[in-house]
Amino acid sequence: MPLKAVIDTNVFVSALRSRLGASFKLISMIGATDKFEIAVSVPLVLEYEDAANRQRSVHGLSESDISDIVDFLCSQADRRQIYFLWRPFLRDPADDMVLEVAVEAQCDLIVTFNKRDFAGSEKFGLEILTPQEFLRQIGE
């Protein structure tokens, strides 16, 4: 059975910035492997688009390119509606949004560079991993 994960916005934006890192490899594997699947919600997808568009000058992608990438992710993801909110549970409301998707979709883990920001998520049975740690866990 594949692992189920939520990708934090910082990992998504990092993948757009460079083709060399673990974030890019992870995002590139979505839909091309049976080792894991991702879950998203409308607010999380909007956050992906907003963050990516704010950094267009850094990664050189157009708004249309970003929209196409996000559309692809959505086509491959377990799309969830959030009917409950625990906010505030974590320090950052954007992190609460990621946690809510993970709990709603019964994910195994959250992939993020900011592991400390998700302190307390273990109460929901979630593992918090960096992209590199996640790739190691799935044997990549």
| pLDDT tens string 104-117 | 999 999 999 999 99
For the chain, give every domain's residue range.
Answer: 3-137
Q: Which CATH class is domain 3-137?
A: alpha beta
| pLDDT tens string 67-77 | 999 999 999 99
Q: DSSP string covering 81-106, please? A: -------SSSSSHHHHHHHHHHHHTT
pLDDT at position 133 over 70: yes
pLDDT at 81: 92
pLDDT at position 58 over 90: no
